[in-house]
Amino acid sequence: MNSIFGFSHDVTLIIWALVSIVFLVVMIAKFKWNPFVTLLLSAILLGFLAGMLPADIIKAVTGGLGGTLGTIAIVIGLGTMLGKMMAESGGAERIATTLIDKFGERNVHWAMMIVGFIVGIPVFFEVGVILLIPIVFIVARKTRMSLLQIGIPVLAGLSTVHGLVPPHPAPMIAIDAYHADLGKTILYSIIIGLPTAILAGPLFGKWIGKRIQVEPPANLVEQFTTTGNRELPGFGITLLTILMPVILMLIGSIASIIDPDGIYSITTFCEFIGHEVIALLISVVFAFYTLGFARGFSKEDVSRFASECLAPTATIILIIGAGGAFKQVLITSGVGDAIAAIATSSHVNIIFFAWFIAALIRVATGSATIAMTTAAGIVAPILAQNPDTNVELAVLATGAGSLILSHVNDAGFWMVKEFFNMSVPQTLKSWTVMETILSVVGLVFILLLSMVV
C-alpha cells in the first residue's frame, strides 16, 4: 500500500496518518471512547494502513508504550507522592499565607500566581487545582476580591508549569524524543514561563475578574475552608522540599556543562543525583521526614499517604503509554520521516511547526498530554534532519501548543467550571481565553528567545 490516487509514498503516508488522527479525535471527542483504548486502536490502524507487517506493528506498539513509561511512570509516581505529602502536611497553605503576608492584600493576585507556579512543579495540574482551590476560597473570602481575580493567576501558574517546566511528564516526553538537555530546558522554561504566566494570570485575571462575578459552591467553601488546628510547617523547609528535585536536576546539568567529559568523580555523582528519577526519589524520601515525621505523622500515616495517591494516576500513566505507542508507530511506519522530508523542503520554521502540530491535536482531543506526546513523534524526525534548531526551545514550543484553547472536550475545563461555579460561556470567556493567552504568548517569547540562543 505504497500510494493512493497517484500520490507519492510520503504524501500517502501522511494521508494515512491524518486518517488515523481523525479516527482518534472522533472516537475521543464525539463518541467519548476511552483515550487509552482509542490510542492503541489508532496506532494499530495506522500500522496496517501504512503497510507494516502485523509483527512489526505489535513490536512498535509494545516498544513505544514500554519505552515511554520506562522513566515517565516513575516520575509520575514519585511526583504524586511529593504532592500528597505537601497536601497532608499543610505545606501549600504555608506557602500561600506567607506570600500573601509579604505581598499584601492589594497584590495578593501576584502572590497566587507564584503559589501556582511553585506548587505546580511537583504535581499534576488536576492535583494542583484540588490542592490549591481551598486556598483560593480562603484568600477570596479574606480579601473580598473577585474569585476569578484570585483563581485565574493560580490556574495560570499551574498550567504554565504543566505544559512547559520539567519534570512534568509531558515536557519530559518531548525532552526524551528531541534529545534535549534537561537543565537548559528548565532554564528556558522559567525565562519564558514566568512572563507568560504574568500576562495570562494576574493581568488577565484582574481584567476578567471585574467582568465575571461568581461565587464558589457553598458546600465546597464549607468543606475546604475548615482547616482545624493543624500547625503548618515552616515556609523555608516547605519551599526547599518542593524545589529540591529541580535544584538537584540543575546541579546535574551544571556539572555536565562544566565537565562534559566526566573527568572528575564529583561530576559523575552530580549527574547521578541530577537524573530526574534519582532527584525525585531523594526529594520524596526527604519529604517523608520534613513534611511527614517532622509534622507528627506516624510511619503508618506516611505509608498510607504514599499508597493512596498512586491509584488516581493509573489512567494518566496508561494514556501516556498509549500515546508513546502511537508515537512509535508514527516513527516506525515512516510517517515521521515523510513529514520531515516535506517540512524540510518547504523550509518551515520548525519551532512554529512544533507549536502548530501540538495545538491542532490539543484542540481536537482536549488532552495536553496526548497533544505533546503525538506532536513529539511527528516533530522528532524533523529535528533530527535540522541539527541547527534549538531542541530545547522546540520542547517548549510543543508544550505551549499543547495548552491552547481548552474547551468542552478537556477534563480540566469541567474541573475549573465546577470548582468556580461558572456556566459554560463564563468558563470559555475566562479559563479558555487564559489557556490560549498562555499558548500564544509563550510561542512569541520562544520565537524571540530563539533569536538569541
Q: What is the pLDDT along the chain (453 residues), one digit of tens a residue?
A: 455 555 678 788 888 988 988 888 788 777 878 888 988 999 999 999 999 999 999 999 999 888 878 877 888 788 878 878 877 888 877 877 787 788 887 888 888 898 888 877 766 677 677 767 777 877 787 777 888 999 999 999 999 998 898 877 778 888 988 988 888 898 999 999 999 999 999 999 999 988 888 887 666 666 555 445 568 898 899 889 888 887 888 788 788 778 877 778 888 999 899 887 898 899 999 999 999 999 889 999 999 988 887 876 787 788 878 888 888 888 788 887 777 677 666 677 889 999 988 888 887 667 787 788 888 888 888 888 888 889 999 999 999 999 998 876 676 787 788 778 888 888 889 999 999 999 999 999 999 999 988
Distance CA 351, CA 345 (A): 16
CB 326 within 8 A of CB 369: no
DSSP state of 104: -
Task: List b or e across 247-278, with b for residues whose CB sees 16 or more CB atoms inside 10 angstroms.
Answer: ebbbbbbebbeeeeeeeeeebeebbebbebeb
Residue type at position 268:
T
What is the per-residue pLDDT for 378? 84
Task: Write out the residue range of the structural domain in which residue 376 sits.
Answer: 9-450
What pLDDT sits at residue 313? 74
Q: Which three cell numbers stand for residue 90?
A: 499543610
Is 4 within the bounds of a domain? no
Q: Which of 23, 17, 24, 22 has its CA nearest to residue 50?
A: 17
Q: Does any domain span residue 2?
A: no
The pLDDT assigned to 395 comes to 94
- Among residues 152, 84, 168, the alpha carbon closest in space to that of 120 is found at 168
Q: How high is the pLDDT of residue 226?
A: 47
Closest among 413, 438, 433, 412 to 423, alpha carbons compared = 413
Residue 397 near residue 349, CB atoms below 8 Å? no
- Please tell me the predicted confidence (pLDDT) of residue 265: 83
Please check whether residue 153 lies inside any domain of the structure: yes
Q: Which residue type is seen at 399?
A: G
Give the Cα separation of 150 and 415 in Å (integer): 17
What is the CA 211 to chain-centroid distance, rounded? 29
Q: Which residues contact 11 (CB under 8 A, 6 or more apart)?
A: 3, 338, 342
Distance CA 414, CA 305 (A): 27
| Residue 48: all three cell numbers together | 496496517
Q: How many domains does the chain have?
A: 1
- pLDDT (0 to 100) of residue 388: 84
Query: What's phi and psi for 272, nearest 5 deg?
Result: -65, -50
Q: Give pTM, 2 decimals.
A: 0.70
Cell of 305: 499517604
Secondary element (H or E) of residue 431: none
Given a contact cutoff of 8 angstroms between Cβ atoms, the answer to whether 251 and 273 are in contact is yes
Say whether the peptide bond before residue 171 is cis (omega within 30 degrees of 0): no
As a whole number of angstroms, the distance between CA 295 and CA 302 comes to 11
Q: Is the residue at 224 inside a domain?
A: yes
First to last CA, the chain: 43
352 burial via Cβ count (<10 Å: 0-12, 13-18, 19+): middle
